[in-house]
Structure 1
């Protein structure tokens, strides 16, 4: 496995390649993303255990989706069972992927603890449980959650971006995969910055703009019927583009 260095403009190319990959089997990829979102929402209903289960299985699901990308390129049929392929790759690979899930859950727990020290969650709780109007101070806390959350999650994302695939496809140990993933993201940080900036505009700015236009026309309730499909398609294409980042940053032997 060889690490490559990508030019900053490659961030845009990864998105184009993700669009191309999505076109190979749009229904199959949409099915996988919808399954993940649906199951995750059901799991969150179960206090603590449900959230932990989602975090634990996130690397497994990542391997499954990346495998589906390979299958689409090879014109193979994508099945829901592809999500389980990481657990069916032998005992050593299965154990390592589950260990990586434990690491990810621990990192998210640590991030949540640090975030709780920086933001007043007690002020945000009424926003989620009542219909009271948002106060300026509560809005400030929302912005702090978004900013601090993004900053704290970046190192976790760098560690986890490629590590599930490096374990499943390159037979690396958990520490080696985490370090290699971080090194790949850091080596290509300019391309990743460009890549994430474009996706932020697509997944955040476009839905907000559509919502504002519909609100101005007094069709606010109808906006969800347009924003939801666009957001789902954008999220699916973004997941497809993860495979493009893998092919650009690593060369398989």
Structure 2
């Protein structure tokens, strides 16, 4: 694994956007399928509230496999949704989902530890929070989101390594952390670029539409597109670091059971 300069992160985002433009409808349709299954999973008794977080790596694999198919000139079809649910990758990806849930719990724990009272006041209708509490809440939210973002960045390559390289969870996490550390400038640049693109897009929508319901819908749409763009960028980064995924070249899917 080579080290990558900061400008490589910008190139990953640029190539990810080019990949997205080749089949925006197919990739977004695949993402909406993931969202639908995630919402359906919430009706499962007991596990419904945490199921979407545990299934996140499996949905991520569906999007990454879609990116690989587009990269090879094929169609990103909704049936790719099942990619991460097939053996032998399913169990390690579910374990990865449990780690994702633990990371989220830690981030939320930090948020409530730093500004629990402000969060409760903010959740009331109407919100009952003064300026000093709002500043503390913003600081706590920034710290919490930073913890989650750093954790996600360090482990972002683990799921594709499990799926495409057939690694176990521990080995995939090790290589993911090593790869991110060696190319931390590129990964940081890519993350900052994607955030800036989203927030600039939000500002443009608000300047044009104000604070109307249409503006809220536009901002939410930008958020969904940004998630797909993030996976396109992650696929480009994986391809440059570990090579083109071999699993994407196979025409015969593995059974679910």
Return the TM-score normalized by structure 2: 0.83
Deviation of 1:67 (Å): 0.7
Deviation of 1:39 (Å): 4.8
Q: Does 1:108 align with 2:100?
A: no
Q: Does 1:149 align with 2:144?
A: yes
- Structure 1: which 5+ runs fail to align? none
Distance of aligned partners of 1:103 and 1:146 in 2 relative to their CA distance in 1, 3 Å threshold: same
Equivalent position of 1:194 in the other structure: 189
Counting matched residue pairs gives 245
Distance of aligned partners of 1:207 and 1:38 in 2 relative to their CA distance in 1, 3 Å threshold: farther
Larger relative helix fraction:
1
Partner SS, residue 6 of structure 2: coil
Moved more, 173-182 or 222-231: 222-231
Distance of aligned partners of 1:205 and 1:125 in 2 relative to their CA distance in 1, 3 Å threshold: farther
Greater RCO, CA 8 A, separation 6+: 1
Equivalent position of 2:69 in the other structure: 71
In structure 2, C-alpha distance between the alignment counterparts of 1:5 and 1:213, rounded to whole Å: 42
In structure 2, C-alpha distance between the alignment counterparts of 1:227 and 1:153, rounded to whole Å: 22
Equivalent position of 1:24 in the other structure: 22
In structure 2, C-alpha distance between the alignment counterparts of 1:177 and 1:220, rounded to whole Å: 45
Deviation of 1:36 (Å): 3.5
Deviation of 1:167 (Å): 0.8
Deviation of 1:159 (Å): 3.4
Within the candidate set 80, 83, 105, 1:82 is matched to 80
Deviations 1:3-37 (A, max 9, x none): 23222101111111111111221111111223334
Aligned 8 A contact 2:118 2:137 in 1: no
Deviations 1:105-148 (A, max 9, x none): 2232233223322222x322232331236521342233123211
Return the TM-score normalized by structure 1: 0.84
Map of 1:82-231 to 2, 5 A cutoff?
A: 82-88=80-86, 90=87, 92-120=88-116, 122-132=117-127, 134-212=129-207, 214-215=209-210, 220-231=212-223
Deviation of 1:165 (Å): 0.8
- Structure 2: which 5+ runs fail to align? 247-257
In structure 1, C-alpha distance between the alignment counterparts of 2:110 and 2:125, rounded to whole Å: 26
Equivalent position of 1:232 in the other structure: 224
Distance of aligned partners of 1:13 and 1:184 in 2 relative to their CA distance in 1, 3 Å threshold: same
Partner SS, residue 75 of structure 1: coil
Moved more, 154-163 or 66-75: 154-163
In structure 1, C-alpha distance between the alignment counterparts of 2:28 and 2:170, rounded to whole Å: 32
Deviations 1:51-87 (A, max 9, x none): 4111111111111111111111223232223122122
